[in-house]
Amino acid sequence: MEQGYNRPVARLTSFLRNPFAFLFATRGAEERVAVYIIREHDRGRDLSDILDDPYVVNRLSQQEIARVLERPEVIRAIGDDVAEAHRRLLAQRR
């Protein structure tokens, strides 16, 4: 069970450097999923299929997915009408 001499110290200094990093983890996930949605939509996939992908479902909650669909770059890529239809669908699932 050899961990290395500085491993606990490295975690502590990482935490002290940015103690609130956990607050921004979701935003990073939302950003990556937004890029994924745009890329997959550009490849011709239907938005409902993309939103059911394990990549999306395993990273974001329904509320976070709704927030991603409100992003201007996502709306521009998939269109206003498609984004609004899926926001309504997500609201019905809650």
In a domain, 55, yes or no: yes
Give the Cα separation of 21 and 9 in Å (integer): 18
pLDDT tens readout for residues 70-85 = 999 998 888 877 777 8
| Residue 9 in this model has a pLDDT that exceeds 80 | no
Structure tokens at 87: 């926001």
In a domain, 86, yes or no: yes
Give the Cα separation of 73 and 32 in Å (integer): 13
Identify the residue with better confidence: 37 or 83.
37
| Residue 25 in this model has a pLDDT that exceeds 60 | no
| Band of pLDDT at residue 22, cut at 50, 70 and 90 | low
In a domain, 9, yes or no: no
Give the Cα separation of 71 and 27 in Å (integer): 12
In a domain, 7, yes or no: no
Structure tokens at 5: 């001499």
pLDDT at 38: 93
pTM of the complete model:
0.64
**Structural domain boundaries, residue 34:** 23-93
Please tell me the total count of domains within the chain. 1
